[in-house]
Structure 1
C-alpha cells in the first residue's frame, strides 16, 4: 500500500541523532526537509561528492544552500569512486558511498543514516533483478534497514511513490537538482525508468504496491534460506565436510555452499559455477578425486575430507 511522506515518517522510528544522505536530488531533499521538521535539532546532512561528472560541484552547492536555509549542519565527503577493471561502475560507486557515509555518520555522532530510495526505486530494482535472472536475494529488492561498517542504515520511503516526494517539494517551494546521468539510457536502470515504468503505469497502475509485496515475500523466503544455510553449515562444519554435504539433497547443498561462500569468504558462485561444484561434490567419493573450481576471485578446492576456499592474490 502506497504511503504519503508524512505516513512513512510516522512509521519510521529512527535512532537519533539521525544522518540523512543528501545528493541534492528531489528524493533526498524531500527526506531531509521532512526529517528536519519532524526531529528538530536531531538531524545532520551527509553529501557524497564522487567527482565522477562535471555537475558534481553544482550538486554540492545546492546541498549547501538547502542546509543553510534549514539551519542544518552539512558534512561533505569526497570519495574516489573509480572502478577497477572488470568491476561495475555502479557497484564501485555504491560501495565507496556507503563506506564514506558510515564513517562520516560515526564522526558526526549519529546513530543511523537514512536513505531516500522510494517505491519507484524498489520497482526498478525488482525489474533489474528479473532482467539479470537473479535469485531470491535479488528479487527481495532493497532492504528497508541493515547494518554496515558498524552503522545502521534505513530506507523509510520504500512505500512512497517518487511523484509524491516531488509534489511535497513543490508545495514547499523547495528546489532540487536533476542528475544528468539519470537520462543516460546506456544504463539499464535508466532504460527501465524511461521506457518500462511509463508502460507499467498505463497497464498496471498499482504495480508499485504489488511489486513491493512480491519483494517482501522474496525477502521472507530468502531469510528462511539463510537460516537453514547457517544451521546446515554449523552441522557440516566450516569449511564443510564432503560427507556431510553429500548427505543433503542437491538444493540444500547449494544453499549451504552459497551461505558458506557468502558469510565466510564474502564471495558468491555463478549459477554455472555452483552446478559444477555440486557435480564435483557428488563425484568426490574417492581420496584421489581433486576439486579446483574458480569461484568469485578465488578457487574452491578439496582439502582432505573438506572443501576449502582460497582467494586469488
Structure 2
C-alpha cells in the first residue's frame, strides 16, 4: 500500500551517517528535509552537477542555500554526463551520477565516510521503471523494477520513498511552505520516461486508481522469481562447471540452459545477451554433437567460443 512520507520515514532505519542524493527537485528536497529532521547531525547531502543545461549552476545555488539553512553539509560533484555513441542520454547520466555519489559519500568528508546513500525515487518512479521494462520486453529481473535497499561499493543504498506517491511529496512540502527546483528537462517528452509520466500515469489513475499498489505487488513477485532463478543458476553452474561443460549443459532443459548461460555471461564476463543472441547460442549448443563442431558467437565486447569440451570466452 502507498504510504505517507512520515510513515515511510518511520519505517526507515539506515546505517549512519547518511548521505542524501539531493538534486533540489521536489522528491529529493522532501527526502532531505525528512532525513535531517529525523537524524539531526547525521545527514549530509550530495548534489551532482551534470553540466547538461544552462540552469545547472542555479540549481547548485539553491541547494547550497537550503543546506545552509538546515545546517546539512553539502558536497557538489561535477561530472561529464555526455553519452557515448549508442548509449542513451538517460543511461549515461545515471551511470555518471551513481559513480559520483559513491565517490563523494566515501571521500568528500575526510575522516567521516558515509555508511549509506538515500535516493528519492518514489512510487510513481517505480511504476515508470516497470512500464519501461515492459516496453523493452524485459524478463523477471527487469520487471522487479527498483529495489528498496542493496549493497554496492562498500555502501548501503536505499530508497525510503518507494511506497510514497509523487503528489504526496509535493503536498508535504507545500504544507511546510518549502519550495523546490522544477527541472525543465522533466517536461521534455523526447525522453520516454517523461512521456510515461505525462501521458500514461494520468490514464492509469483514471482507469485503475490502485495501480501503484498492484504494480508494486507484481514487481515484488518478479523480484522473488528473479531471486529463485538466481539460486537455480548458481546451483546449475556449480554442477555444470565454470566454464560450462557442453555435454552437461545439454543435459539441462532449454529453460535452465538459458538461465545458466545468462547468469554465466553476466557474472563471469559482465555481458548481458540480447534475447536473439541467447536463442542463437542455445541453438549452437544444441547442435554441438560432434568433436569438430565449432561455436563462435559475438556477444557484447567478446565472443562465446567452443574450447574442446567446454564453452569459453574470448575478448579480443
Tell me if both proteins adopt one fold, taking TM over 0.5 as the criterion: yes
Greater than 3 Å deviation, 4+ residue runs: none
Superposition deviation, residue 150 in structure 1: 2.3
**Is there any run of 5+ residues in structure 2 with no aligned partner, and where?**
none
Superposition deviation, residue 253 in structure 1: 0.3
Q: Over residues 73-94 of structure 1, what are the superposed CA-to-partner deviations in whole Å (9 max), with x where a residue is unaligned? A: 0000111111111112211111
Task: Please list, as runs of the form range in 1=range in 2, the aligned pairs for 1:1-313 lying within 5 A after superposition.
Answer: 1-107=1-107, 108=109, 109-312=113-316
Question: How large is the RMSD of aligned CA atoms in angstroms?
Answer: 0.9
Superposition deviation, residue 106 in structure 1: 0.9
Task: Tell me the distance in 2 between the aligned counterparts of 1:134 and 1:258.
Answer: 13
Deviates more, 1:40-49 or 1:148-157: 148-157
Task: Tell me the distance in 2 between the aligned counterparts of 1:126 and 1:241.
Answer: 36
Superposition deviation, residue 145 in structure 1: 1.2
Superposition deviation, residue 26 in structure 1: 0.3
Asked if the contact 1:103–1:149 (Cα under 8 Å) also holds between the matched residues in 2, the reply is no
Asked if the contact 1:46–1:77 (Cα under 8 Å) also holds between the matched residues in 2, the reply is yes
Task: Tell me the distance in 2 between the aligned counterparts of 1:205 and 1:69.
Answer: 38
Task: Tell me the distance in 2 between the aligned counterparts of 1:181 and 1:298.
Answer: 36
Asked if the contact 1:119–1:161 (Cα under 8 Å) also holds between the matched residues in 2, the reply is yes
Task: Tell me the distance in 1 between the aligned counterparts of 2:227 and 2:72.
Answer: 38
Task: Tell me the distance in 1 between the aligned counterparts of 2:269 and 2:69.
Answer: 46
Superposition deviation, residue 310 in structure 1: 2.5
- Equivalences, count: 312
Asked if the contact 1:122–1:212 (Cα under 8 Å) also holds between the matched residues in 2, the reply is yes
Q: Over residues 3-23 of structure 1, what are the superposed CA-to-partner deviations in whole Å (9 max), with x where a residue is unaligned? A: 111111111110000000000
Q: Could you tell me the TM-score, scaled by structure 2's length?
A: 0.97
Partner of 2:177: helix, strand, or coil? coil
Asked if the contact 1:99–1:149 (Cα under 8 Å) also holds between the matched residues in 2, the reply is no
Task: Tell me the distance in 1 between the aligned counterparts of 2:12 and 2:267.
Answer: 29
Superposition deviation, residue 55 in structure 1: 1.5
